[in-house]
Amino acid sequence: MIEQEGIKIEIKEVDTESRIRLLQISGYVDQANCHLLQKTIDDCLADEYYCLTFNLQNLVYMSSAGWGVLIGEIKRFRESGGDIKLANMGPEIYEIYQMLEFYHIISEYPSVDEAIASFDSVSGSTNIEVEKVVKEEAEAKETPPPAAAPAPVPEPAPVEPPPVEEDVQEIEMTVESSDIEELLGNTPSSTNNVNNTPSEQDIVYEQDVTINLDSILSEESISPPTPQRGHTGKVGDTGYVEFKPRNYDRKVDIGLMPLPDKVRAIVAKAPHLNTRQIRALLAEPEYGETKIGYFKLRALLKSLDLNSKEKRFRFYRSA
C-alpha cells in the first residue's frame, strides 16, 4: 500500500492464475504525486501482473498528468496479453473521461465485478481460439493428402449457326417547319424578328401619370380616414397612427419554456458551464426552479448534442 502526498493506493490480489490485480485509488492524482501511480504500474509489470482494474470510487480529482500515466502505459499491458480497466468513476472523473473521449482507448465499468469479469471473458475466448488452432493442425497431420484429380477432357468447340439476315425497313419522317415552330414554342410573330430586338410598338416610353386618389376612393365607396387626436385634418395630414414595434415588445419568460429550450438558452449564454453548474442554474427562479437529476441531465445534453464543452461552444458560436 502507498499512502503519501494526498494519494492512497491499495493493491489486492484477485486471481494469481490469471494474473489479475485490483488497485484502489483514494484522494487525488496530480503532477506532484503521479510518479507514485507510475511506480505502482511498473511494479505490477515486474511481477508479471498484466490485468489491472482501478477502483476510482474514492478518487476526487485526476489531472492530465494522471490520465497520461494510464493512457501511456496501456500499450505495454496489451502487448503482454493483458489490459487496464477503470471502475466506479465519480461524476467529475467521468465527465473528464467523456469530454476527452478516452472511451476510445480505455474501457470503464460501473462496478469492480464487471471490470474483473471482462478479463475472464477475454481470456476464455483466447483459450478457445488456441484450442481450435491446435485441433485443426492435428487433423491436418492425420488426414492423408487427396489423390490427384484426372486431367480434364477437352470439350468440342460449339458450332455457331449461320447468321440470319433480317430485312430492315427504313422509315422516313417528314417534319414541317410549322411543326418545329410549335414544338419550340415560337409564334410566327417571334420568328419574324430574328435578332429578338424589340419593335417600335413594343417600346414603352416613360410619362408622367397623375393619380386622383380622392376620385378612386369615391368610386369604390371608401371614405377617407378620420383624423385622429392631435391631427389637424389639413392636406398632407392623413391621420394615420404610426406603428412602433418597440411598444409591443415583450420579454420571453424562460421559466415557462420546455426543459430542452431552457438548457439551450443556458448554453447559448454560458457555454463554459459544466453539467453540475447547468443543473444548479436550472434550479434558479429565472429558469422556473427546474429540478433534474445529474445523470438525467447528462442524457438530455447527449440527446441535444451538447454533451461536451467543444459542442457547447460550437452551439454558442452558432446561436
Judging by DSSP bridges, how do beta strands 20-29 and 83-87 pair with one another? unpaired
> Among 17-21, 82-86, 191-195, which stretch is predicted with the lowest mean pLDDT?
191-195
Other beta carbons less than 10 A from residue 59's beta carbon: 23
Q: What span, in angstroms and rounded, lies between the C-alpha atoms of 117 and 123?
A: 10
* pLDDT surpasses 50 at 171: no
The predicted pLDDT at position 140 comes to: 58
Tell me the angle at which helices 91-99 and 275-282 cross, rounded to the nearest 10 degrees: 120
Interval 238-268: pLDDT, tens: 544 555 555 545 566 787 889 999 999 999 9
Q: How many residues does the chain have?
A: 319
DSSP code of 257?
Answer: S
CB neighbour class for 259 (10 Å; exposed up to 12, middle 13-18, buried from 19): middle
- For residues 269 and 128, the model is more confident at 269
The predicted pLDDT at position 124 comes to: 46
Instruction: Please report the beta strands in the chain, taking only residues with DSSP state E, as ranges in sequence order.
Output: 2-4, 7-15, 20-29, 51-62, 83-87, 107-109
Q: What span, in angstroms and rounded, lies between the C-alpha atoms of 66 and 25?
A: 12
* pLDDT surpasses 60 at 37: yes
Which grid coordinates are listed for 77? 499491458
Q: Are 105 and 71 contacting, i.e. CB atoms less than 8 angstroms apart?
A: yes
pTM above 0.85, yes or no: no
The predicted pLDDT at position 225 comes to: 53
Give me the domains of the chain, ranges plus CATH numbers.
Answer: 2-122 (3.30.750.24), 254-318 (no CATH)
> Among 56-70, 124-138, 139-153, which stretch is predicted with the lowest mean pLDDT?
124-138
